[in-house]
Amino acid sequence: QGVADAAVPVEGLMISGDLNIVDVQMVVQYDIKDLIGYLFRVNDPGEDARGIAPGNPEGRTLKDAAEAALRLVVGQRSIEDVLTEQRTAVESDTKTRLQNIMDNYQTGINIVSVQLLRTQAPEEVFESFEDVLRARQEQETRVNEALAYENNIIPRAEGDAERIKREAEAFAQARVSRARGESSRFVSVLEQFRDHSIELQNVLQDTNNADDDGDSSTGIGLGDVSVISGPDVDGDGFDILASSMTLIGAGLGDGSGCLFTNAETGSDDDAVTCTFSVSFDAQTGDLVSGIPFSIAYLGNEILTLPSLVGNGPFEMRLGNPVLDTDNSDRDDNHASGISAADIKVVDGPDAGIVQGIDIAVDGFDARTNVVTFRVQDGETLNGGDGFTVQYLNRENLNVPATSEVTQQRLYLEAIEEILPRINKVIVSPDAESVIILGGREGITPIPVGPSQAP
């Protein structure tokens, strides 16, 4: 095994494929793979510089073959490839070509490796060549930086443009929706001018038995709704009175069951499926928006059995506070003496194992408004089924914003939102309301709102 590493400054100068001179030095490592060829096939003159005696092919034969292989490989590449990018390829190709030469000469030498020690321009032009290489590297760096900036800024600009476009579209949609909403609100305010009605939460029933038939589903009228608390400024009774009643859907033939008159219901089914709206008026003067008051009425509330109810018992909270219906304590006060007897199950599942509705009231906690229900022995209920309870409801309400003063205020507020150029609104009890618009041609009064009574 040996290493051919003698300095050969003249032989190291080679011409690259682009006709530049390059100084290349390399180390060749080798061993003997065929002793007969090594000893007897080549008569080498030897090489004094490396101390190689005549006779063996590792002398002048190996040196000249290595130089020839390297010159051929370098001559096929540009100087930039030899100096930078393809050093490993130069080593590999030189080793292959050198091994082919050694085999053709039957030297018995095996080339282990070829390693480039130095590849540079000649000393006379080394600094200038380095400047050229640095300039090329700087150029490549600048190009890569420019490409990176392009790859970064273009997607960002496209993203910003898309975002701005979406924001503009969303802004336009919001303005359109707001304009539509303002117009709808304006119309709804107009519709509220004479509306003093409140829709009852639970289905109304006959509370006072005015028809003397003992059936809570018939004889329903205005007398079945009582104001039980509210303002009383002059001490002569509540200032709020129930003035009229409407059955929602009455006589429309829409299949809701509300085909009877407003004064009296006609059947049990009708009472269960109809919704009632009651209108309220002030005893004297005008109603003040937001004033709280309470009403009492006998109502049906439809509940849904909880999941996994099985054979009970189970608890449920009612939608409205319960009042004393049977007056068991004889004090004529609906707010006291409240018990489970004031709540009835009037409709529900009946599996038929035991006759009658399978659910009954078993207890009531007036503090929490929670009812305890029991299931008839032998019956099993399914969660999600509906059933109906009946009790005297206490519903707490507020006077809706429908008085004349409130009507005018809401009307003008709607106008202000729709017309952003309004400068001033004048409301006078002795003159028609106007809005003042400022423009290039001066101030223009425009009448608005409901016409004043003569």
Predicted pLDDT of residue 10: 61
Predicted pLDDT of residue 98: 92
Predicted pLDDT of residue 213: 73
Predicted pLDDT of residue 417: 55
Taking the model in full, what pTM does it have?
0.43
Which three-class secondary structure string do you get for the chain? CEEECCCCCCCCEEECCCCCEEEEEEEEEEEECCHHHHHHHCCECCECCCCECCECCCCHHHHHHHHHHHHHHHCCCCHHHHHHHCHHHHHHHHHHHHHHHHHHCCCCEEEEEEEEEEEECCHHHHHHHHHHHHHHHHHHHHHHHHHHHHHHHHHHHHHHHHHHHHHHHHHHHHHHHHHHHHHHHHHHHHHCCCCCEEECCCEECCCCCCCCCCCCCCCCCHHHCEEEECCCCCCCCCCEEEEEEEEECCCCCCCCCCCCCCCCCCCHHHHHHCEEEEEEEECCCCCCCCCEEEEEEEEEEEEECCCCCECCCEEEECCCCEECCCCCCCCCCCCCCCCHHHCEEEECCCCCCCCCCCEEEEEEECCCCEEEEEECCCCCECCCCEEEEEEEEEEEEECCCCCHHHHHHHHHHHHHHHCCCEEEEECCCCCCCEEEEEECCEEEEEECCCCCCC
Predicted pLDDT of residue 269: 42
Per-residue model confidence as pLDDT tens for the chain (454 residues) = 555 554 545 667 888 888 888 888 889 999 999 888 888 888 888 887 777 778 778 888 888 899 999 999 988 888 878 887 788 899 999 999 999 999 998 989 999 999 988 888 777 777 777 787 788 888 989 999 999 988 988 888 888 888 888 888 888 888 778 777 766 766 665 555 545 566 776 777 777 777 777 777 777 777 788 888 888 888 888 888 888 777 665 444 444 445 444 444 444 444 445 667 787 777 776 667 678 888 888 888 889 988 888 887 899 999 889 988 777 777 777 788 889 999 999 888 887 777 788 899 999 999 999 999 999 888 888 888 889 899 988 888 887 655 444 455 555 555 555 555 444 444 444 544 444 444 444 444 445 444 444 4
Domains of the chain: 2-120 (3.30.479.30), 199-398 (no CATH), 404-447 (no CATH)
